[in-house]
């Protein structure tokens, strides 16, 4: 009885404390606001003339400079409760786009619409998600397709270079986003994701960029006569290390507008444009040492025939480049950075990474009988510094050198950039 008398007051005090704590504890915010952005300047000690590869000797010693806002992004997310969430990502590339209407007095007073600036405004994500369990989540809407290291982590604090790593950025859509359904989850050290999205358009493939623009659309809608299938799996069994495999497969022919079914009597019957992409990437994040790398390979079936068909289709001002499509493309790269600031200021919370990056990529491995284009084979090195006064901001400086085959001019450059990546409310 004595024990009960002693326990009862203690329980009352405990319940009162819990009740008071519950009253003062703020409700978890349901709205998430965040984003990232970057500004860059580059002095390029090579020509920007469109004929710098076809007549390299005529453009030796030329140079040009550029300033840019490559990306400025706003994240908005909301938790509706009961496992239902949504997220949007609005991206302004190269400060957006603009046009103006004006009266041209030099042309009989006609009204004209003129492009004021180039750029893009895109809705890169817009999805609704239902979470059943950490290992089972269903996402529906406009989704990032995480094939390759860059598409999985495309924010500017996830790479040391001023601009996005060139290899993957050249041959793959970036940031790759499309409308479809994603099933993903985490279990222990593993994360998986499987997606069904609208397929790629073979008529948007080209020599310089392989399938990069195949996920886009020149229309107000995205053609989805064919579907694409993507998957990614990550493993973090080793401390500070992530190892990842990802891939994509789908037919890229018959996925343009207007839809033109190829008759059985046509010589093009059976041209499917089967496109397969495989990628490996990794990231190691230690206390002072960071390393990342990627290896990507893509293959397009019927590349020679697609190139021929695309050239003919482009003759009537269709929105497709006339250049040939390679049967394959490859990209591989690795970067390493080390925080050297503790050598000079042991107690600082800021970070100063000295980094180096090497990559090789080739956007055009020609099919048999296709035109050759040796200038697509490039090696690139970059060295520089990343100063991070706070974890959300980086100031970047870089020297890079792009090596092409001997018949072409080398392409060195110096670049400066500043970027941020943060969640303002979460």
Q: What angle do CA 288, 418, 173 make, to 5 degrees?
A: 90
Reported as a single tens digit per residue, the pLDDT across 188-237 is 999 999 999 999 999 999 999 999 999 998 888 899 999 999 999 999 99
Reported as a single tens digit per residue, the pLDDT across 84-99 is 999 999 999 998 887 7
pLDDT of residue 15: 39
CA distance 212 to 196: 18
For the cut 70, the answer to whether the pLDDT of residue 279 exceeds it is: yes
pLDDT of residue 418: 98
Maximum average pLDDT range among 97-111, 118-132, 278-292: 278-292
For the cut 50, the answer to whether the pLDDT of residue 4 exceeds it is: no
Transcribe 296-365 into DSSP letters: EEEEETTHHHHHHHHHHHGGGS-SS--S---SEEEEEEEEEEEE-GGGT-TT-S-EEEEEEEEEEEEEEE
For the cut 80, the answer to whether the pLDDT of residue 10 exceeds it is: no
Q: Give the CA count within 13 Å in the CB-facing half-sphere of 285.
A: 7
CA distance 268 to 375: 30
Looking at every residue in the chain, the average pLDDT score rounds to 89
CA distance 193 to 209: 26
CA distance 239 to 285: 9
More confident residue, 412 or 2: 412
pLDDT of residue 20: 39
pLDDT of residue 237: 98
CA distance 401 to 375: 15
Domains of the chain: 29-96+119-425 (2.40.160.10)
- Of the pLDDT bands very low, low, confident and very high (cuts 50, 70, 90), residue 379 is very high
Q: Which of 219, 224, 233, 269 is nearest to 251 (CA)?
A: 224
Collect all residues with Cβ–Cβ distance below 8 Å to 181 and sequence separation of at least 6.
138, 139, 140, 143, 195, 196, 197
The reported pTM is 0.88
- On whether the CB atoms of residues 197 and 227 are closer than 8 A, the answer is yes
pLDDT of residue 115: 73
pLDDT of residue 311: 79
Reported as a single tens digit per residue, the pLDDT across 11-58 is 444 434 433 343 433 446 699 999 999 999 999 999 999 899 989 999
Question: Which has the minimum average pLDDT: 152-156, 316-320, 372-376, 394-398?
Answer: 316-320
Strand partners, 312: none
* Ramachandran region, residue 61 (left: φ > 0; alpha: ψ -120 to 50; beta: rest): left
What is the arithmetic mean of pLDDT over 270-291?
A: 96
More confident residue, 243 or 310: 243
Q: What percent of the chain has pLDDT over 70?
A: 87
């Amino acid at each position: 009885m004595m024990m009960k008398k002693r326990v009862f007051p203690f329980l009352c005090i405990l319940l009162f404390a819990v009740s008071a704590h519950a009253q003062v504890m703020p409700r978890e915010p349901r709205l998430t606001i965040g984003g990232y952005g970057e500004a860059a300047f580059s002095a390029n000690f090579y020509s920007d003339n469109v004929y710098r590869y076809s007549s390299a000797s005529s453009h030796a010693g030329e140079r040009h400079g550029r300033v840019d806002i490559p990306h400025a992004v706003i994240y908005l997310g909301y938790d509706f409760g009961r496992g239902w969430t949504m997220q949007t990502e609005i991206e302004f590339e190269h400060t957006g786009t603009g046009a103006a209407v004006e009266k041209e007095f030099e042309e009989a007073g006609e009204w004209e619409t003129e492009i004021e600036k180039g750029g893009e405004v895109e809705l890169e994500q817009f999805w609704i998600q239902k979470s059943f369990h950490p290992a089972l989540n269903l996402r529906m809407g406009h989704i990032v397709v995480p094939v390759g290291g860059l598409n999985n982590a495309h924010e500017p604090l996830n790479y040391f270079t001023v601009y996005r790593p060139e290899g993957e950025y050249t041959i793959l859509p970036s940031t790759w986003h499309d409308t479809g359904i994603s099933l993903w989850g985490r279990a222990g050290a593993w994360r998986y994701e499987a997606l069904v999205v609208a397929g790629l358009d073979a008529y948007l493939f080209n020599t310089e960029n392989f399938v990069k623009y195949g996920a886009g659309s020149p229309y107000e809608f995205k053609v989805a006569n064919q579907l694409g299938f993507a998957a990614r799996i990550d493993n973090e069994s080793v401390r500070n290390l992530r190892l990842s495999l990802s891939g994509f497969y789908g037919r890229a022919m018959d996925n343009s507008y207007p839809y033109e079914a190829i008759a059985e009597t046509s010589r093009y019957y059976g041209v499917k444009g089967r496109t397969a992409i495989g990628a490996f990437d990794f990231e190691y994040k230690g206390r002072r040492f960071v390393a990342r790398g990627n290896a990507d390979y893509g293959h397009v079936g019927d590349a020679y025939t697609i190139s021929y068909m695309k050239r003919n289709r482009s003759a009537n001002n269709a929105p497709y480049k006339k250049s040939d499509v390679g049967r394959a493309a490859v990209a591989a790269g690795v970067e390493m950075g080390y925080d050297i600031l503790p050598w000079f200021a042991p107690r600082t919370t800021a970070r100063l990474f000295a980094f180096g990056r090497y990559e090789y990529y080739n956007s055009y491995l020609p099919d048999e009988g296709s035109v050759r284009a040796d200038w697509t084979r490039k090696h690139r090195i970059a060295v520089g510094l990343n100063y991070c006064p706070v974890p959300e901001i980086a100031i970047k400086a870089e020297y890079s050198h792009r090596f092409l085959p001997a018949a072409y001019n080398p392409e060195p450059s110096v670049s400066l950039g500043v970027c941020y990546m943060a969640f303002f409310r979460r």
